Amino acid sequence: MSVQQKQGYQQSSMNKARTIYKYFTAVEQSEGVGAKVRRSIGTLKLRNFTPFLMLDHFTVAPPAGFPDHPHHGQETITYVLGGMIAHEDFTGSQGVLRPGDLQFMTAGKGIVHSEIPVKLDSDEPAVGLQLWVDLPEKLKDCEPRYRDLRKDETPIANPHDGLEVRVISGKSYGVESLSELAYTPVNLYHFISSKPETKFQQTFPDDFNVFMYVLKGTVNVNNQDFPQYSSIFFKADGSHVEGFSASDDSEFVLVGGQMLEQPIVQHGPFVETSRERMIKVFGNYQSGTNGFERAPGWTSSISNGIAQDRLSDFEKSSS
């Protein structure tokens, strides 16, 4: 945690709105195989924001994608906003995420998987968000797991005219989500406003770092307008985040996560707390041991793509 964040945490007040720590616009860059992402967390502007390691707003269409690759020591949250994403890993888990679906994946001690956009008859690309979340040191060697959350499994809050809140993880305006979707406590909300000057307010625990990402339109926070693709990071100096929509239609996500008081040693998709532990992880991956036993020689069935007419058979074979 930075000095500014620690100072903010000590000044926390139960009736005060959080103030802004940093903000910038996420710039598009290439990632994976032919994919385009707008990355905010995980850049030179903000390397990490404990417990968050990376946030990508991705747009990916076949033949681009994220073919077979490993992870260790972290969790990923994938939220599909448009199109479809097929996923498969070396444990035999596989499935398809459709618009509005989410996947909470815990890599733990090790996993190798593939995330590929489905080639749709409409040629629509897959669009969504992927968030990387650090795991507490004591859980970095846990068994991997998946939790898929379908669109119809997330409750909606409609606190007043012009505002809809999709409560993915946490509680908003009296509406509560499913619990225990990730090991590291994370609250995730999708706010949708249909008219300008629609006010919003969302509370978070004192020990949570909080950020906002603007998906559409313009949002006003702390008397400042933030346009599409803005990333706004808050100090831990208040009980809630508040603001209002500044355009006819606006959408944004508000995300909070419990701060982890531990070092972050990251090399691509491997995350540890020391150089020594990281060296061991690389050794495990190269030798196919301690979580990576199934990695040598494994290739996903979707690494070369998957078409819409194959989905039925693909999902039937899911284990």
User: Average of pLDDT values for 9-18?
Assistant: 68
Distance CA 189, CA 156 (A): 10
Distance CA 188, CA 177 (A): 10
pLDDT at residue 294 greater than cutoff 70: yes
Contacts of 287 (CB under 8 A, 6+ apart): none
Tell whether the torsion through CA atoms of 112, 269, 254 and 30 is positive or negative.
negative
269, 79, 128, 40 alpha-carbon torsion, rounded to 10°:
-50
Phi, psi of 38 (to 5 degrees): -105, 105
Task: Please report, for the chain, the start and end positions of each structural domain, with discontinuous segments joined by +.
Answer: 7-295
Of 86, 79, 87, the closest CA to residue 58 belongs to 79
Write out the binding residues for Fe cation.
Answer: 69, 71, 113, 115
pTM: 0.92
Fold of domain 7-295: Jelly Rolls (2.60.120)
If one counts every other C-beta atom within 10 angstroms of the C-beta of residue 91, the result is 16
Distance CA 66, CA 116 (A): 6
Distance CA 99, CA 83 (A): 6
Distance CA 241, CA 223 (A): 13
pLDDT tens digits for range 157-176? 999 999 999 999 999 999 99
3-state SS, residue 271: strand
Task: Say what the pLDDT of residue 11 is.
Answer: 46
3-state SS, residue 246: coil
Write out the binding residues.
Answer: 69, 71, 113, 115
pLDDT tens digits for range 34-77? 788 999 999 999 999 999 999 999 999 988 889 999 999 999 99
State the residue for tokens 């074979």: 317
Residue 290, phi-psi category: left (phi > 0), alpha (psi -120 to 50), beta (remainder)? left
pLDDT tens digits for range 74-97? 999 999 999 999 999 998 889 999
pLDDT tens digits for range 102-125? 999 999 999 999 999 999 999 999
